[in-house]
Amino acid sequence: LVRVGAPPSLDRILKSAQENPQLIRFTALKAQRSAELGSARAQAVPDVTVGVGYRHYNETADSGMIFTLSVPLPVFDQNQGGIIEASESLRRAEAEEAVVRSALISQVGRAYDSLKASYDEVAILRGSTIPDAKSAFGGIESGYSEGRYTLLELLDAQSSLTETSLRELDALVSYHTALAALEGLTGRPVTFSKGKSK
């Protein structure tokens, strides 16, 4: 919980988010809807039926081959309703995908901003604020034992150090919460930039 790493670029995170299962399912759904549209369009074209047969006429004792060709004329039923329904179903799937993609990108952006801000806060706290507070407390503590500072000043320095440590813990909780959210949205662990962990 104490160790943090510098977040990768937002572009890299967004690229990983494209493989989110919520988005992947739309690939199969759109393929299914496209197949349904193709089937509806195929039903609008009439089936040509060809037949071959043998016939014997008893009255004349003649025999012959019979060829038949049947082409239904789709005057009243061109399956327009089925085509429109399948087309709208495909458009609806595409629109749903766009909504889910937009929401996912928004969630990734918020989680990334939180991760980055938390990382920056931890870096600042660990880089200067906490060492300065420890140094100040150490100086006041030794000065108190020598009689240069009052108990109130010592307690104030200790309170400041404790408050700074609590801010670090809050930043760490925010960092790991945002990290877990990003990993949930991308469906994979976040890989950190090399050499920048604290």
Q: How confident is the model at residue 137 (pLDDT cuts 50, 70, 90)?
A: very high
The helix (H) or strand (E) run that includes residue 114 is: helix 80-124
CA distance 135 to 161: 9
Residue 195 has pLDDT above 60, yes or no: no
User: How confident is the model at residue 175, as a pLDDT?
Assistant: 96
Q: How confident is the model at residue 81 (pLDDT cuts 50, 70, 90)?
A: confident
Mean pLDDT of the residues in the chain:
88
User: Considering the domain 10-47+80-186, what is its CATH architecture?
Assistant: Up-down Bundle (1.20)
Residue 29 has pLDDT above 70, yes or no: yes
Bridge partners, 52 (sequence order): 67
Q: How confident is the model at residue 65 (pLDDT cuts 50, 70, 90)?
A: confident
Tokens 């060809």 map to which residue?
A: 50
Q: Poorest-confidence range of 56-60, 102-106, 132-136, 148-152?
A: 56-60
CA distance 101 to 12: 16
Residue 77 has pLDDT above 70, yes or no: no
Total length of the chain: 198
Q: How confident is the model at residue 187 (pLDDT cuts 50, 70, 90)?
A: confident
Domains of the chain by residue range: 10-47+80-186
Structure tokens at 154: 């010592």
User: How confident is the model at residue 24, as a pLDDT?
Assistant: 87
